Amino acid sequence: MKNNDNLNDLQKKLGFYFKDSDLLTQALTHSSFANEHGLEHNERLEFLGDAVLELCISRVLFFGFPDASEGHLTKLRAGLVSEQSLARVARSLSLGECIYLGKGEEHQGGRDRDSVLSDTLEAVLGAVYLDSGYSASQECIQKVFREFIPESFELMPSFKDYKSRLQEATQSLFKARPVYILVESTGPEHEKIYRVQVELPNGMKVDASESSVKKAEQKAAGKAIRMLSRNS
């Protein structure tokens, strides 16, 4: 297991110390490691952390940008909670050094992969919420995101995920949005695979499967963007 110094350093950077250290351990446990060692992975905590993060960031932006429109606030939030942005925050916390990875994922560079870092950060924030509640989560998120929140909307870097990019493309090409449908979920409860289909306004359909609905939607959107590019 990880060196206690790494975990203490992480908690110091978070500005939050866990009362239940097992929650932090689970939040840092990637499914590849969990499967090798018969442990519980962090995907349920990731699901919770995703919702906690969106609420807390929404509050920060609501009070931090009192003159911003709903549309601007939505774009600011999307940029801050995108995979690339979350990975940047995770790197600022040296989170990659703390993740429990399986051997295969380790050898494939998972420790510095944006998707692994962003998912783990969400899991950690979910664990903070379970450990100490909403107020503690809000304080933690404000601290770790402080340097990444711009002084104005115009200074916000653009980190558009595949779903955002696909929506912009379909709005431009077809004046309509894509539709995502959960086709099926398979496998045991702790290793479920979700298959999602995205249907474009021109009738084109693209499927993708991943370990969460969110990941499957992003993967399907990425495939759809590539198909649109080839057809243009």
> Looking at the annotation, which residues are catalytic?
50, 122
Handedness of CA 16, 20, 25, 31 (dihedral sign): negative
Give Dmax (Cα) for the chain.
55
Half-sphere exposure of 34 (CA within 13 A, CB side): 16
CA atoms of 109 and 116, how far apart (whole Å):
10
**In b/e form, how buried is each residue of 106-123, taking b as 16+ CB within 10 angstroms?**
eeeebbebbebbbbbbbb
Using CB atoms within 10 A of its CB, is residue 30 exposed (0-12), middle (13-18) or buried (19+)?
A: buried
Of 180, 181, 173, which is closest to residue 229 (Cα–Cα)?
173
